[in-house]
Chains A and B, each alone.
Chain A
Amino acid sequence: MPRLIIDEREIEVPEGTKVIDAAQRLGIVIPRFCYHEALGSVGACRMCAVKFLQGPFKGVQMSCMIDARDGMVVSTTDEEAVLFRKRVIELLMMNHPLDCPVCDEGGQCLLQDETVSGGHGRRRFRGPKRTYRDQYLGPYIKHEMNRCIHCYRCARFYQEFAGYRDLGPLRIGDRMYFGRFSDGSLESPFSGNLVDICPTGVYTDTTARFKLRRWELERSPSLCNQCSLGCNTAANAHHRGVMRVEARFNSEVNGYFLCDAGRFGFSYSNGGTGHRERPLSPRIAGAPASAHAALTAAREALDNIAAKYGPRAIAAAGSHRNSFESQCMLDLICRTRDWRGPVFFWGPEDRRKTLSAVEGLDGEIAVSMREIEKADFVIVVGADPLNEAPMGALALRQAARKNAPVVTIDPRPIFLPCGFEHFPAAPEKIERYLGMLVWKAVEKDAARFGKDAEEFCRYLAAECESCEPPAAMARLSQLLASCSRPAIICGTDVTLQTTPAFAADCVRLLRLAGKQAGLFFLLPGAGSFGSALLSGTDDKTFADLVEDIEAGRVRALVVGESDPFHHYPDRARLESAMSKLELLVAIDYFPSETVRRASFFYPSSTIFETGSTYINQEGRVQFAHPVHCGGVPIRGGEHPPRVYSDLVPGGDHLPAWKALWQIAGTPDKDAGPGGISPEKFIPAALPAFDGLKAGHGYPVDGPRLLTAKAGFQGKWERASADARTGPENPEAFELLMVEWMFGTSEFSAWSDSLDAAAAAPHMSMNSKDAARIGLCDGDTVSVELDGGAFEIVVSVSDRTAEGVLVIPRHHSFEWRKMKDSPARVSAEKIRKI
Chain B
Amino acid sequence: MPFKYPLVLFQNRKPDRVATLDEYRESGGYEALEKFIGGGISPKEVIRLVTESGLLGRGGAGFPAGMKWAAVPDSSPFPRYLVANSDEMEPGTFKDRMLLHVDPHCVIEGMALAAYSFSGSKAFFFVRPSYESSAAILERELENARKAGFLGNRILGTDFSFDIVVHRSGGRYICGEASALLNAIMGKRPNPVKPPPYPTEKGLWEKPTVVNNVETLANVPHILRNGPEWFKSLSATEHGAGTKIYGISGRVSRPGAVELPIGTRLSEIIDLHCGGMASGSKFKACLPGGASTRFLTPEHYDIPMDFEDLKKIGNRLGTAAIMVFDQNTCLLGATLNLMEFFARESCGWCTPCREGLPYMRDLLWRIENGEGKEEFIPNLRMLCKQVWNSYCALAPGAAEPVISLLDFFEDEVRQHISEKGCPFHAKADH
Binding site for B on A (CB under 8 A): 43-47, 49, 60-62, 65, 83-84, 87-88, 91-92, 94-95, 124-127, 149-150, 152, 168-169, 171-176
Question: In the complex, which residues of chain A have a beta carbon less than 8 angstroms from the beta carbon of B390?
Answer: 46
Any A CB within 8 A of the CB of B379:
yes
Residue contact A172 to B346, C-beta cutoff 8 Å = yes
Residue contact A173 to B347, C-beta cutoff 8 Å = yes
- Complex: how many Å from CA A169 to CA B350? 13
Question: In the complex, which residues of chain B have a beta carbon less than 8 angstroms from the beta carbon of A60?
Answer: 389
Question: In the complex, which residues of chain B have a beta carbon less than 8 angstroms from the beta carbon of A84?
Answer: 386, 389
* Contact A46 to B355, CB < 8 A, known contacts A169-B348, A172-B347, A172-B348: no
Residue contact B356 to A173, C-beta cutoff 8 Å = no
Return 12 A-B CB contacts under 8 Å, by A number: A43-B350, A44-B349, A44-B351, A46-B351, A46-B390, A88-B352, A91-B359, A127-B362, A150-B354, A169-B348, A173-B344, A173-B358
Residue contact A43 to B358, C-beta cutoff 8 Å = no
Question: In the complex, which residues of chain B have a beta carbon less than 8 angstroms from the beta carbon of A88?
Answer: 351-352
How close is A166's CB to chain B, nearest CB, in angstroms?
15
Name the one of B189, B343, B366 contacting A173, with C-beta atoms under 8 angstroms: B343
Residue contact B348 to A49, C-beta cutoff 8 Å = no
Question: In the complex, which residues of chain A have a beta carbon less than 8 angstroms from the beta carbon of B366?
Answer: 126
Any A CB within 8 A of the CB of B345:
yes
Question: In the complex, which residues of chain B have a beta carbon less than 8 angstroms from the beta carbon of A49?
Answer: 389
Q: What per-residue 1/0 map shows which CB atoms of B183-203 lie under 8 Å from chain A? A: 000000100001000000000
Residue contact A172 to B172, C-beta cutoff 8 Å = yes
Residue contact A46 to B391, C-beta cutoff 8 Å = yes
- Complex: how many Å from CA A62 to CA B351? 13
Interface centre among B344, B346, B347, B351 (most CB of A within 10 A): B351
- Complex: how many Å from CA A173 to CA B362? 15
Give 8 closest A-B pairs by Cβ, nearest first: A176-B348, A91-B355, A173-B346, A127-B362, A172-B348, A46-B351, A174-B358, A173-B348
How close is B191's CB to chain A, nearest CB, in angstroms?
8
Any A CB within 8 A of the CB of B334:
no
Q: What per-residue 1/0 map shows which CB atoms of B375-386 lie under 8 Å from chain A? A: 000010011001
Any A CB within 8 A of the CB of B98:
no
Residue contact A174 to B343, C-beta cutoff 8 Å = yes
Q: What per-residue 1/0 map shows which CB atoms of B306-345 lie under 8 Å from chain A? A: 0000000000000000000000000000000000000111
- Complex: how many Å from CA A88 to CA B359? 12
Q: What would 12 more interface pairs be, CB under 8 Å, given A83-B382, A92-B351, A173-B348?
A: A43-B391, A44-B391, A46-B352, A91-B356, A91-B359, A95-B355, A125-B359, A149-B351, A150-B348, A172-B347, A173-B354, A174-B354
Residue contact B386 to A87, C-beta cutoff 8 Å = yes
Question: In the complex, which residues of chain B have a beta carbon less than 8 angstroms from the beta carbon of A124?
Answer: 379
Question: In the complex, which residues of chain A have a beta carbon less than 8 angstroms from the beta carbon of B357?
Answer: 173-174
Residue contact A92 to B355, C-beta cutoff 8 Å = yes
- DSSP class of A's interface residues: helix, strand, loop or mixed? loop
How close is B222's CB to chain A, nearest CB, in angstroms?
38
- Complex: how many Å from CA A150 to CA B350? 8
How close is B179's CB to chain A, nearest CB, in angstroms?
13
Any A CB within 8 A of the CB of B287:
no
- Complex: how many Å from CA A65 to CA B350? 13
Any A CB within 8 A of the CB of B174:
yes
How close is A651's CB to chain B, nearest CB, in angstroms?
50
How close is B415's CB to chain A, nearest CB, in angstroms?
21
Residue contact A173 to B389, C-beta cutoff 8 Å = no
Question: In the complex, which residues of chain B have a beta carbon less than 8 angstroms from the beta carbon of A168?
Answer: 189
Name the one of B189, B351, B359, B379 contacting A169, with C-beta atoms under 8 angstroms: B189
Residue contact A125 to B346, C-beta cutoff 8 Å = no
* Contact A172 to B345, CB < 8 A, known contacts A65-B194, A91-B359, A124-B379: yes
Residue contact A43 to B194, C-beta cutoff 8 Å = yes
- Complex: how many Å from CA A203 to CA B400? 38
Instruction: List the A residue with the shortest CB-CB distance to B362.
Output: A127
Residue contact B358 to A127, C-beta cutoff 8 Å = yes
- Complex: how many Å from CA A91 to CA B389? 13
- Complex: how many Å from CA A172 to CA B189? 10
- Complex: how many Å from CA A674 to CA B130? 82
Residue contact B350 to A174, C-beta cutoff 8 Å = no
Name the one of A87, A125, A173 contacting B345, with C-beta atoms under 8 angstroms: A173
Question: In the complex, which residues of chain B have a beta carbon less than 8 angstroms from the beta carbon of A169?
Answer: 189, 348
- Complex: how many Å from CA A114 to CA B354? 19
How close is A769's CB to chain B, nearest CB, in angstroms?
38
Instruction: List the A residue with the shortest CB-CB distance to B375.
Output: A124
- Complex: how many Å from CA A174 to CA B344? 8
Question: In the complex, which residues of chain A have a beta carbon less than 8 angstroms from the beta carbon of B348?
Answer: 150, 169, 171-176
* Contact A174 to B346, CB < 8 A, known contacts A46-B351, A88-B351, A95-B355: yes
How close is A95's CB to chain B, nearest CB, in angstroms?
7
- Complex: how many Å from CA A173 to CA B349? 8
Residue contact A87 to B347, C-beta cutoff 8 Å = no
Name the one of A47, A61, A126 contacting B351, with C-beta atoms under 8 angstroms: A47
- Complex: how many Å from CA A169 to CA B348? 10
Residue contact B350 to A44, C-beta cutoff 8 Å = yes
Chain B residues numbered 360-399 whose CB sits less than 8 Å from any CB in chain A: 362, 366, 371, 379, 382-383, 386, 389-391
Question: In the complex, which residues of chain A have a beta carbon less than 8 angstroms from the beta carbon of B382?
Answer: 83, 87
How close is A159's CB to chain B, nearest CB, in angstroms?
10
- Complex: how many Å from CA A515 to CA B40? 48
- Complex: how many Å from CA A44 to CA B392? 10
Question: In the complex, which residues of chain B have a beta carbon less than 8 angstroms from the beta carbon of A95?
Answer: 355
- Complex: how many Å from CA A271 to CA B383? 55
Q: What per-residue 1/0 map shows which CB atoms of B163-187 lie under 8 Å from chain A? A: 0000000001010000000000000
Question: In the complex, which residues of chain B have a beta carbon less than 8 angstroms from the beta carbon of A126?
Answer: 362, 366, 371
Residue contact B350 to A45, C-beta cutoff 8 Å = yes
* Contact A46 to B389, CB < 8 A, known contacts A92-B351, A172-B347, A173-B343: yes
How close is B354's CB to chain A, nearest CB, in angstroms?
5
Residue contact B389 to A172, C-beta cutoff 8 Å = no
Residue contact A91 to B351, C-beta cutoff 8 Å = yes
How close is A52's CB to chain B, nearest CB, in angstroms?
12
Instruction: List the B residue with the shortest CB-CB distance to A152.
Output: B349
How close is A243's CB to chain B, nearest CB, in angstroms?
33
- Complex: how many Å from CA A566 to CA B116? 70
Question: In the complex, which residues of chain A have a beta carbon less than 8 angstroms from the beta carbon of B172?
Answer: 172
- Complex: how many Å from CA A175 to CA B352? 14
Residue contact A94 to B349, C-beta cutoff 8 Å = no
Question: In the complex, which residues of chain B have a beta carbon less than 8 angstroms from the beta carbon of A83?
Answer: 382, 386
Residue contact A174 to B345, C-beta cutoff 8 Å = no
How close is B366's CB to chain A, nearest CB, in angstroms?
7
- Complex: how many Å from CA A341 to CA B348? 64
